[in-house]
């Protein structure tokens, strides 16, 4: 594994732990949503991030986690505990991760459909002598 990436990850987790001190037996966890291809940066997925931003703003767990943007996909840094409160936090985090994944899948399918239509139109134009 790339040692530079490991150092960067550890530094990110330390910053999270300093900004949001843990209580009790909490453990800091990183939940990374990776894209299989392409880029998931805010500049390249503005509509998806609009929906993600809405979900972040309406999250009842705001402040209990950190949302990190990466070109390879978003990451949530959270504390996980074995208490009842952690169950509700976990539900909020799962809902947020689900929203991120759904938006990525939706917009990826839209791009694929546009690409298919474009290829089909190009093929038809060439086949029937149109330009």
What pLDDT is recorded for position 83? 59
Q: Which of 71, 72, 60 is nearest to 96 (CA)?
A: 60
Please name the residue ranges forming H helices in the chain. Answer: 3-19, 46-58, 84-127
Q: Which of 99, 79, 97 is nearest to 89 (CA)?
A: 79
Q: How far apart are CA 41 and CA 13, in angstroms?
A: 21
Say how many CA atoms lie within 13 Å of 129 toward its Cβ.
0
What pLDDT is recorded for position 63? 59
- Other residues' Cβ atoms within 10 Å of the Cβ of residue 89: 20
Please list the pLDDT of the chain residue by residue as tens digits (131 residues).
688 988 988 998 888 888 877 777 777 888 887 777 777 778 878 888 888 888 888 876 655 778 888 877 788 888 776 555 555 666 777 777 788 777 777 777 777 777 777 766 665 555 555 55
What pLDDT is recorded for position 122? 61
C-alpha triplet 32, 95, 51: angle, nearest 5°: 85
């Amino acid at each position: 594994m790339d040692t530079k990436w490991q150092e960067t990850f550890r530094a990110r987790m330390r910053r999270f732990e300093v900004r949001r001190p843990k209580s009790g037996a909490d453990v800091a966890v990183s939940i990374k949503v990776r894209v299989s291809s392409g880029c998931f940066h805010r500049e390249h997925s503005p509509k998806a991030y609009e929906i993600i931003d809405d979900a972040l703003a309406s999250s009842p767990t705001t402040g209990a986690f950190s949302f990190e943007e990466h070109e390879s996909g978003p990451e949530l840094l959270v504390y996980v505990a074995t208490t009842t409160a952690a169950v509700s936090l976990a539900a909020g985090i799962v809902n947020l991760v689900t929203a991120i994944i759904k938006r990525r899948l939706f917009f990826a399918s839209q791009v694929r459909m546009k690409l298919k239509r474009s290829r089909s139109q190009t093929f038809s134009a060439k086949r029937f002598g149109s330009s």
